[in-house]
Amino acid sequence: MAFLIHLLVCIFGTGSWVAINGLWVELPLLVTELPESWYLPSYLTVIIQLANIGPLLVTLLHHFRPSCLPEVPVIFTIVCVGTVTCALFAFLWNMTSWVLDGHHSIAFMVLTFFLALVDCTSSVTFLPFMSRLPAHYLNTFFVGEGLSGLLPALVALAQGSGLTTCVNITNTPDTTPSPVTNRTTGITQGASSTLVSAFTGTTASTVHLESRYLPANFSPLVFFLLLSFMMACCLVAFFLLQRQPRHWAASTEDLFSSQIILHSIRLQEKQDLGLPGPEGSSKDQGPLEEKTAPLHPVQLTFIYLLVAFVNALTNGVLPSVQTYSCLSYGPVTYHLSATLSSMANPLACFFAMFLPSRSLPFLGVLAVFGTGFGAYNMAMAVMSPCPLLQGHWGGEVLIVASWVLFSGCLSYVKAMLGMILRDRSRSALLWCGAAVQLGSLVGALLMFPLVNVLRLFSSADFCSLQC
């Protein structure tokens, strides 16, 4: 039965961000069909941040009227909305409407807002719900949350989304009497050159390489139906979790018997009344009190700030520049870094289940290491299209390893901070979710003008690099 609950919790966790993560990995196919083209990610960034009105409303209601918003009906509602919206995406994603000066993907943007509303609100509803279960299930939830990024990436990889090849483009001047002005042949490498026209014998033709997207193995319709299926699985898992009354009782006992603050309060009350503790507990009472000691306000502030900072990096700052930091090393390097870093997230949470560390200094140091790897990734993005060791296998290994370690270190930190706050109270988990969304919002708003307005980063076409 315990394995079944772990499985259900993991599936439930995948529903937290699987929809929006799936939307991002499908972008290489969507931008070739929609009128916004590569400006579409900019629109998505703004729409997703507007959807933070959902967690803001839930947090405010929890603070001012704690009992007016039961989380179980809210979770059922948002997961149902996410399932239906993904299904609608499958049939409406390429529908356009004439607005002001041209065609725009209005249906796509409206559906994106509802998906973002579902995923953003999950941060402040799923985590508090997990306080009903024993503490050891929270790490399983974080594993599922990590899989919400990995599973869509694997589906997109099977689909062939974003895979490119180099093609040989021959441009003939307009004055050339050749009836053929463009020729494309798929190749893997080459360089720009000049050809002599076969028609005139003197007119030069320019030959250069460009990247071209390969045809997808299946359409976005199938991809979005798969996303809808994943959300439906999340809904079924949550429904089955509601049908486990024994585990609700076990979780109530866990609140008073494991390493959380309520247990230490009971022990403290006994000491104040002069009552003896349980027999044989004199040797173990010291370590238990040390584990369950209330957090100092400074420690609590540090935890929430670290939660916001880590999520700003992992959800807002670094994802905005991953293509800039990796594509200069080639499409294979980019796909390896994206896929392996997505795998590092659930693996780090799984690792935290067996080797947990609640030491705040250790988690702070680990966050510094993770930030250091993130700084290297950012530096390579700034140096694009000619980063360090470009064209050398060592550079490819370094950038992939840096992304994996960045994701792994900070995912472990996030998982352990969630465990610490879970041991404090249900309310602490809700504020943890609010800090997650606040950090993600700040990170995205910081990077949006740098990437899309000031254009501080230069994209790289691996097929035509000249460094």
* Mean pLDDT for the chain overall: 78
Report how far residue 222's alpha carbon sits from residue 330's, in angstroms, rounded to the nearest whole number. 28
Which residue, 59, 159, 42, is CA-closest to 112?
42
Report how far residue 313's alpha carbon sits from residue 446's, in angstroms, rounded to the nearest whole number. 11
Query: What are the tokens at 71?
Result: 């989380």
* pLDDT confidence band for 176 (50 / 70 / 90): very low
Query: What does the pLDDT average to over 94-122?
Result: 88
Which residue, 215, 207, 172, is CA-closest to 191?
207
Which residue, 303, 244, 268, is CA-closest to 436?
303
Higher per-residue confidence, 336 vs 213: 336
Report how far residue 357's alpha carbon sits from residue 379's, in angstroms, rounded to the nearest whole number. 30
Least confident of 39-48, 181-190, 445-454, 456-465: 181-190
Q: Is the pLDDT of residue 369 over 90?
A: yes
Q: Is the pLDDT of residue 428 over 60?
A: yes
Query: What does the pLDDT average to over 412-422?
Result: 88
Instruction: Give the model's pLDDT for residue 399.
Output: 94
Terminal Cα-to-Cα distance of the chain (whole angstroms): 59
Instruction: Give the model's pLDDT for residue 256.
Output: 42
Considering 41-55, 60-74, 303-317, 428-442, the range whose residues carry the highest mean pLDDT is 303-317
pLDDT > 90: what percent of the chain? 24
Which residue, 226, 232, 223, is CA-closest to 15?
232
Query: What does the pLDDT average to over 4-22?
Result: 90
- Threshold 0.75, pTM exceeds: no
Residues paired with residue 102 on neighbouring β-strands, in sequence order: 99
Q: Which residues of 173-200 are buried (b: 16+ CB within 10 A; e: fewer)?
A: eeebeeeeeeeeeeeeeeeeeeeeeeee
* pLDDT confidence band for 156 (50 / 70 / 90): confident
Q: What is the tally of helices (H) and strands (E) in the chain?
A: 19, 6
Which residue, 71, 194, 176, is CA-closest to 123?
71
Report how far residue 124's alpha carbon sits from residue 418's, in angstroms, rounded to the nearest whole number. 12
Residue 457 CB neighbours (<10 A): 21
* pLDDT confidence band for 189 (50 / 70 / 90): very low
Q: Which helix (H) or strand (E) holds 164?
A: strand 164-171
pLDDT tens digit string along 226-244? 999 999 999 999 999 887 7
Q: Is the pLDDT of residue 297 over 60?
A: yes
* Phi–psi pair at 51, nearest 5 degrees: -70, -10
Q: Report CA torsion sign: 159, 162, 163, 169.
A: positive
Which residue, 71, 83, 193, is CA-closest to 133?
71
Instruction: Give the model's pLDDT for residue 331.
Output: 76
Rounded to 10 degrees, the C-alpha dihedral 128/129/131/132 comes to 150
Tell me whether strands 193-196 and 184-187 are parallel, antiparallel or unpaired. Answer: unpaired
Residue 246 CB neighbours (<10 A): 9
